[in-house]
Amino acid sequence: MTTPIYDVVVIGGGIHGAGVAQATAAAGYSALLLERSGLASGTSSRSSKLIHGGLRYLESGQFGLVRESLREREILLRLAPELVRRVPFYIPVYACTRRGPWTIRAGLSLYALLGGLSRETRYETLPRTRWGTLDGLGTHGLQAVFCYQDAQTDDAALTRAVMRSAQALGATLCCPANFLSARQTRDGFRIHYLEGDKEILCHGKTLVNAAGPWVNAVLDRITPRSDTLLMELIQGTHILLAGETRNGVYYVEAPRDGRAVFVMPWKGNTLVGTTETPYHGDPAAVQPLPDEVEYLRETFHHYFPARHANPLSSFAGLRVLPHAAHGAFHRARETRLQTDTPHRPRLVSIYGGKLTGYRATAAKVVALLRHSLPSCPVRADTAQLPLTPEK
């Protein structure tokens, strides 16, 4: 039997892997995606499910990231109206809030500017008469409530929609399929993977490592070994509480340490997250910790004192962040693309990143790989391909 040959083999069926498969197929190349467990079974089903610029990244000066994410938000709102919807976000400011009204106002003005100053990017200060309509938000010591627009999605459904779009353009999905090893040859990689109990060999002219928290574990299986980036896994937990927060998303400061926490409507209930806890174990074993659940319960109860805060369920996901001495909150959230060589790379590894920016990241990956692939006619532009939920 002849060995199947693909222009691009992608390891990992999270949002980044699906995005790269779609961008590859749209660029006219053949693509195979290998996913070990299930599409979006990793971080891409455990995020805060926001399609947003990331207001808080302004505090750490990540303006480029915020601008790109806001641009991607608008594209996704257009391409996937059934999967990505605009939602009002509320920021309450109390007498004891660390970020005062002027800081919030400055942040929101910059956010609106980076978002392109349209009707949708404007923010407002809610009149006192509307405070009583805010899902039971405590009003003791409340000084102001700011309101602006961002967007929410179903992260796993979005990932599956992107993969379906890739398949419609000719990409092949192999799931469950466990990537075992790859060895570089003169013109690409000999790749072994396990489908059921059958070991399969294929040839990839190029290889994309989109294994999220397993990125370095996958690199360990590729010969010759290329440089890995020093990274840390930071666990983020969410809890699900009974009863919906109908008005939109609340952006509050955790009373314990001042970190930003979101309180969000989620399928008829309320999702509260997230935490930032260093993680050193097996990525597959990540679980919410009792103290994280308590931290989120305590934060919710502080702002919504009349509502029940007994979790129905909880989940945890892992952020891939660059290694640094300081805390996770201020660390760069930009995606880093590590290649096997600076010129004509054949291997690209994706470190970190955001759900919101997957399309832009995928475009950058394909632009890097193009140098090692023959030119071919483009099939589609991913900024014009509609994304629909499964029927």
Ligand X SMILES: Cc1cc2nc3c(=O)[nH]c(=O)nc-3n(C[C@H](O)[C@H](O)[C@H](O)COP(=O)(O)OP(=O)(O)OC[C@H]3O[C@@H](n4cnc5c(N)ncnc54)[C@H](O)[C@@H]3O)c2cc1C
Binding string to ligand X for residues 43 to 62, with x set by CB under 6 A, is what? xx--xxxx------------
Which range in 41-49, 79-87, 109-117, 244-252 contacts ligand X by CB under 6 A?
41-49
Q: Which residues contact 162 (CB under 8 A, 6 or more apart)?
A: 15, 18, 19, 21, 22, 358, 387
Q: State which of residues 318, 360, 362, 368 lies at the interface with ligand X (CB under 6 A).
A: 318
Position 83 contacts ligand X (CB under 6 A): no
Coil, strand, or helix at residue 87? strand
- Residue 26 or 32 with smaller CB distance to ligand X: 32
Position 41 contacts ligand X (CB under 6 A): yes
Position 228 contacts ligand X (CB under 6 A): no
Q: For residues 12 and 9, what is the distance between their CA atoms, to the nearest angstrom?
A: 10
Position 89 contacts ligand X (CB under 6 A): no
Position 188 contacts ligand X (CB under 6 A): no
Q: State which of residues 9, 12, 314, 346 lies at the interface with ligand X (CB under 6 A).
A: 12
Position 213 contacts ligand X (CB under 6 A): yes
Q: Which helix (H) or strand (E) element contains residue 362?
A: helix 358-369
Q: State which of residues 29, 57, 146, 214 lies at the interface with ligand X (CB under 6 A).
A: 214
Position 212 contacts ligand X (CB under 6 A): yes
Binding string to ligand X for residues 19 to 38, with x set by CB under 6 A, is what? ---------------xxxx-
In the 8-state DSSP scheme, what is residue 306? T
Position 209 contacts ligand X (CB under 6 A): no
For 217, half-sphere exposure in the C-beta direction (CA atoms, 13 angstrom radius) is: 15
| Cα 173–chain centre separation | 21
Preceding omega of 386 cis (within 30 degrees of 0): no
Position 179 contacts ligand X (CB under 6 A): yes
Cα of first residue to Cα of last residue in the chain, in angstroms, is: 37
Angle between helices 63-79 and 101-114 (to 10 degrees): 60
Q: Where are the beta strands (DSSP E) in 74-228?
A: 84-94, 124-125, 142-153, 172-174, 178-185, 188-195, 198-209, 222-223
Coil, strand, or helix at residue 308? coil
Coil, strand, or helix at residue 204? strand
The first and second tokens of residue 355, run together, are 């759900």
- Residue 149 or 356 with smaller CB distance to ligand X: 356
Q: State which of residues 16, 164, 297, 359 lies at the interface with ligand X (CB under 6 A).
A: 16
- Least distance in angstroms from the C-beta of 226 to ligand X: 16
- Alpha helices by DSSP H, listed for 91-236, are 101-114, 155-168, 215-219
Position 354 contacts ligand X (CB under 6 A): yes
Q: For residues 177 and 383, what is the distance between their CA atoms, to the nearest angstrom?
A: 29
Position 11 contacts ligand X (CB under 6 A): yes
Q: State which of residues 24, 274, 277, 349 lies at the interface with ligand X (CB under 6 A).
A: 274
Q: For residues 183 and 225, what is the distance between their CA atoms, to the nearest angstrom?
A: 9
- Least distance in angstroms from the C-beta of 373 to ligand X: 22
Q: State which of residues 13, 53, 248, 265 lies at the interface with ligand X (CB under 6 A).
A: 13
Q: State which of residues 65, 76, 207, 218 lies at the interface with ligand X (CB under 6 A).
A: 218
Size of interface with ligand X, in residues (CB under 6 A): 37
Q: State which of residues 125, 172, 178, 181 lies at the interface with ligand X (CB under 6 A).
A: 178
Q: State which of residues 21, 26, 32, 42 lies at the interface with ligand X (CB under 6 A).
A: 42
SS3 breakdown of the chain: % helix, strand, coil, rounded to 5? 30, 30, 40
Position 388 contacts ligand X (CB under 6 A): no
Q: Compute the chain's Rg from CA coordinates.
A: 22
Binding interface with ligand X (CB under 6 A): 11-17, 34-37, 41-44, 47-50, 178-179, 210-214, 218, 236, 274, 317-319, 350, 353-356
